Structure 1
């Protein structure tokens, strides 16, 4: 059923989630969330303040409602449009803009640099640990001219 088949009173009584479903079904293509919310607000005659207050509720409802699927880049579609075996992760890459691809390339470069920096830090920590172990061994070596047994006897002997 199309949105034009409903009168103003029916639209006013309808929930935003039902309107979202009807609009997506009618358009048969993904909607950017802001555009979808604006279209619903216009249909229901909501004031700007009321629209802002209801945005989060609709977003949460769409996340919880099994009929909707988030496609990435803040675009939403209907679950029925996609095969059942396609995961949400696969679907989230359905909508990608050129800016996102550029950002992803930059992100990949950052991750490579981060991994290199992390390996350098690990190497430095290993070196410091080895140096500390060598210093600890040096401290626990018996002094020249003293046996470790002599040191223990002296400690046990209370006569001065």
Structure 2
């Protein structure tokens, strides 16, 4: 019976590799995001003299937004893979990010919600900047975006408080 139990547990343990294709998909999504980034950058560069100040700022905010999302995806890929699949063996690599191997699931949640708040804030700023030029943006849309952003901010604060309380209790599970 012990052999059956051991084989079953080994199968469960090996099942973590089912997550690997998800991380490959996230890597491919960064490539897709890079395409959108290049398209937006090309638009900014080719219309340099004809864009208004507002359009230029909106284009730059779009680039910042995509960069934050790409950074978030990298954190999720590295941390998720290391937390749930396998350690990434780059200990001696000179370009290894300082946070790699140190971001646990709890810290990952806080970083995730922080990035979402930043992305939501940038979207809100873009909406604010478009209010004068875009008649399709209604007060109701702005109110919904403010409400959703507020929920993200409150969620982020609650995650940070829970993380702080968990670290103070000594229970890091």
More helix by percentage: 2
The higher radius of gyration belongs to 1
TM-score range, shorter chain: under 0.3
**Greater relative contact order (Cα 8 A, min sep 6): structure 1 or 2?**
2
